[in-house]
Amino acid sequence: MNTPRLWQQIEQELWNKIEHEVKGSFYLEEQSHLYYFQEFHPYNNKQVSWVVMLQLDEGELNAPFNRIRIGLLIFAALALLISLALADLGARYIANPIARFSAALKRFADGEKTNEIRLNQPRQAAQELQQLEQSFKYLVKKIKESESQRDQAQNMMLQQAKLASIGEMAAGIGHEINNPLNNILSYATLIERDLPQGNAQLRKDVDGLREEALRAGRIVKGILNFARQVPPEYNLFDMHKWLQDTIDLVDPEARKHQVTIRLHELPDLEMYGDRNQLQQVMVNLLMNAIQASKPQDVVEISGQKAGVGLVRIFVSDQGKGIDESSKAKIFDPFFTTKAIGEGSGLGLSISLGIIQFHNGQLELKSNSKGGVDAIITLPLGNMSDESE
């Protein structure tokens, strides 16, 4: 310690403070000194005593504590800055992403159909946040799938109810019309038999009468088939041979319209269903495709597995496609885009009923070539239990 000398005489002012004390300490503010004193008797004579006094400079005494205090203040300031930086980092990479996630959940709950949520960049976000993001996307995906399945089921139920109600009405009308048509055909045959050989125009008129009656009879037959909705008889059959046989049935119509039918390579699959009913569906789809095509167009048939236990068959043409106004009504009974007299509008309705009886789906979509893709999705394997 810095002291001017090792000892000195005690000044009167200091003596006045200690003369009645044995030991102690005091502080002189005007000098900024701290004093410690102790009386002791170096001789046997107790009448003579000494007082040792230690004088300390307050600045020197407090210097180590001041350094510690300053160090603590600096440490506290640094700790505060680091804490603020960590808090900002936490807010940026944890709190803010979670806030965005919460906002996205609220928007989704309010009906916004989106799974485009990013909590942070993958390399910056914590693994837990990435898992949270993926879980949210998975949740949205499953909800959308459930909603899609629900909508499909509702549409199927509405379509079946519509078909059932119209079918009942059509059956009654068909039976009532069928008998007069049979009478007209009988009378036309009798008239033709009694016609004189030289009257060609009259014979032509009678032939036209009979043809129109036969056409009306075909329409009535279609109505009755539509109304009956006969349950399928399930059997195993080869998909490739079934499609080839169907193509052979419609080939004359294709040649008439100068349209080529191309069957692409198919997976080696055995189907289980009512071969005749499903062939009726394919004939109807192919006839529609042929009639919608221009000369030299190609109608393509392809197939593929579509998930576990499913097969998907495509019939694609290069025709005019489906306009927006027709999409919602395309499967309605008696709806047709063909010219009057060229179709009853029952083919697709009957086809849809057959496919639904087989626990499948039938879709019509416009394709990139401007035409229509008819898509049949059917389950493979034994479906008889499922359809009962």
Q: Give the pLDDT confidence of 206-225 residue by residue, as tens digits.
A: 888 888 788 777 767 766 66
Q: Which domain holds residue 8?
A: 1-112
247 and 387, same domain (yes or no): yes
Question: Is 0.85 surpassed by the pTM of this model?
Answer: no
**pLDDT value of residue 262:** 92
Task: Assess if residue 330 is contained within a domain.
Answer: yes
Is 386's pLDDT higher than 50? no
pLDDT of residue 78: 92
Within a domain: 66: yes
Is residue 189 in some structural domain?
no
Band of residue 316 on the pLDDT scale cut at 50, 70, 90 = very high
pLDDT exceeds 90 at position 41:
no
**Confidence band for 131, pLDDT divided at 50, 70 and 90:** confident
Q: Which pLDDT score is estimated for 8?
A: 55
Cα–Cα distance between 350 and 284 in angstroms, integer? 9
Q: Say if residues 297 and 260 touch (Cβ distance below 8 Å).
A: yes
Distance of CA 291 to the CA centre of its chain: 36
pLDDT, greater one: 333 or 5? 333
Task: Report yes or no on 81 lying in a domain.
Answer: yes
The strand pair at 33-40 and 23-28 is best described as antiparallel
Sheet holding 361-366, edge to edge: 260-263, 298-305, 310-316, 372-379, 361-366
Residue 97 domain-assigned? yes
4 falls in which pLDDT band (50, 70, 90)?
very low
Q: Are residues 384 and 236 in the same domain?
A: yes
Mean confidence (pLDDT) of the chain: 77
Is the residue at 10 inside a domain? yes
The residue from 94, 112, 130 where one domain ends is: 112
Number of domains the chain is built from? 2
Asked if residues 273 and 383 have their Cβ atoms less than 8 Å apart, the reply is yes
Contact 381, 236 (CB under 8 A): no
> Token pair for residue 361?
């789906």
Residue 361: in which H helix or E strand, if any? strand 361-366
Cβ(345)–Cβ(329) below 8 Å: no
Q: Which of 71-80, 183-192, 197-206, 249-258 has the lowest mean pLDDT?
A: 197-206
- Tell me what the mean pLDDT of segment 8-16 comes to: 67
Q: Is the pLDDT of residue 115 over 80?
A: no
CA 370 – CA 317 distance, rounded (Å): 8
**Chosen domain end from 112, 133, 162:** 112
Interstrand relation of 235-238 and 23-28 (parallel, antiparallel or unpaired): unpaired
- Give 215's contacts (C-beta < 8 A, 6+ positions apart): 341
In a domain, 192, yes or no: no
Hey, is 366 helix, strand or coil?
Answer: strand
CATH number of 236's domain: 3.30.565.10
Reported as a single tens digit per residue, the pLDDT across 237-289 is: 888 999 999 999 899 899 999 999 999 888 888 888 888 889 889 998 999 89
Token pair for 327: 């999409």
For residue 365, what are the contacts with CB-CB under 8 A and spacing of at least 6? 322, 372, 373, 375
Average pLDDT (20-46) is 75
* Rounded CA separation 73/379 (Å): 77
End of a domain among 93, 112, 131?
A: 112
pLDDT given for residue 6 in this prediction = 44
Task: Report in angstroms the alpha-carbon separations of 296 from 19, 153, 338.
Answer: 134, 40, 20
Assess if residue 161 is contained within a domain.
no
